Amino acid sequence: MAVNLSTPNPADLLPVPGVRLGVAEAGIRKANRRDLTLIELAAGSRVSGVFTQNRFCAAPVQVCKAHIAGGAIRALVINTGIANAGTGESGLAAANATCAAVADLLGIKAGQVLPFSTGVILEPLPVDRLVAGLPKARGALRADGWFDAAHAIMTTDTLPKAVSRTVQVGGRTVTLSGISKGAGMIRPNMATMLGFVACDAAVSQALLDELVREAADLSFNSITVDGDTSTNDSFIVIATGQAGNAEITEAAGSDWAALREALIDVSVRLAQAIVRDGEGATKFMSIAVEGGADREECRKVAYAVAHSPLVKTAFFASDPNLGRILAAIGYAGIADLDVGRLRVWLGNPDESVLVAEHGGRAASYVEEAGARIMAHSELTVRIDLARGEALATVWTCDFSYDYVKINADYRS
């Protein structure tokens, strides 16, 4: 049961000039299932990405990193079912064969193709079936293929995740559309968070690289379901340059600001959708830390709270358990934290209540207020460290019986 998330309306998903998407049933792991997505980019598109830090980095991620460094990317190919991770040299060969097949089909070079895989790890990718499905995916290529692609990249997600919006940049309308998948930072063997955002803005490669890192930091790198990091996580931003705006080449000015705001907004909404569809989730929680000496310590505190199984089970029970929140802040690893100065609020979209100050429960806090706030499914824990000006927000979900059920019962 996803938290305040529903299937997007296909009419709300906007074509991005320069981008066409097609899906097919390739029978990668199961029959009668759309499991192959091809994304074709117009010549001149710029592409940037960030990838998993996991040392068990999947074969397609290794190939992506190599190809993206070469530039001039013209196609993305995404399969579900098999993650092609933990597969050694033969896994690399499979990812390269996939790129070669896409290149043949589209008349481009293999180095201009980025491959992505998500699904069971430690199993070989059936390249023959994947390649056999490519012509059908190519035949299905269309500018309004975002809705289908959002479905075709799902593994155990309960809902497709897609977002579009427009923004004015240099007097032109820039369109952004994106899709994401993932229902935990990693599913049992069904690994992977994937995020793809395309826009038609004209922006230099250097700025696009800067923007993808910042957007990832503020979105996909600010969520957690269970603290596990997958072997295949990838976030890709595409700029086709067809909107007609004057190319943005400096990280300054209103054009840059508008594009930056819009891209971060789309990325955050796609990332939050993953948490809303988190395994067994019944609550969506924002952990907003302010007053830190730097952003890194704010993130430490936010993640300590967001990862605490005790906090997460308390939120599942709608229990405003201050002790667990304070204890998590206390062990976040800030050696000189003055607990006497920090303050904590619990909130929902209707109200926010100061619950802790001076090293303990706030004098004004009554349990009824806490219970009233926790009855909501959208919750905020706001923490003021009173040490500086830095901020960070992390989004997570609660920890329910269903989380254990999903992860204990799952068999690949």
Applying CB under 8 A, among 26, 36, 64, 121 the residue interacting with a second copy is 121
Query: Closest CB to a second copy among 135 and 360?
Result: 360
Applying CB under 8 A, among 164, 219, 230, 242 the residue interacting with a second copy is 230
Q: Work out whether 390 is an interface residue with a second copy (CB under 8 A).
A: no
Q: Work out whether 252 is an interface residue with a second copy (CB under 8 A).
A: no
Positions 285 through 344 that interact with a second copy (CB under 8 A):
307-310, 313-314, 316-317, 319, 321-324, 326-331, 334-335, 337, 339-340
Is 48 annotated in a binding site? The answer is no
Query: Closest CB to a second copy among 244 and 291?
Result: 291
Residues 6+ apart with CB under 8 A from 295: 390, 391, 392
Q: Work out whether 62 is an interface residue with a second copy (CB under 8 A).
A: no
Minimum distance of a second copy from residue 46's CB (angstroms): 28
Stretch that binds a second copy, among 42-50, 127-135, 141-149, 187-195 (CB under 8 A): 187-195
Number of residues that bind a second copy (CB under 8 A): 62
Stretch that binds a second copy, among 38-46, 126-134, 193-201, 398-406 (CB under 8 A): 398-406
Applying CB under 8 A, among 227, 244, 291, 388 the residue interacting with a second copy is 227
Give the Å distances, CA to CA, from 313 to 280, 282, 283.
11, 11, 10
Q: Work out whether 88 is an interface residue with a second copy (CB under 8 A).
A: yes
Q: Work out whether 226 is an interface residue with a second copy (CB under 8 A).
A: yes
Q: Work out whether 191 is an interface residue with a second copy (CB under 8 A).
A: yes
Applying CB under 8 A, among 27, 86, 126, 291 the residue interacting with a second copy is 86
The residues assigned a catalytic role are: 192
Stretch that binds a second copy, among 27-35, 151-159, 386-394, 396-404 (CB under 8 A): 396-404
- Report the binding-site residues for substrate: 155, 181, 192, 279, 407, 412
- Report the binding-site residues: 155, 181, 192, 279, 407, 412
Footprint on this chain of a second copy (rule: CB under 8 A): 53-57, 85-88, 120-122, 184, 186, 188-189, 191, 226-231, 307-310, 313-314, 316-317, 319, 321-324, 326-331, 334-335, 337, 339-340, 356, 358-361, 399-401, 403-405, 407-409, 411
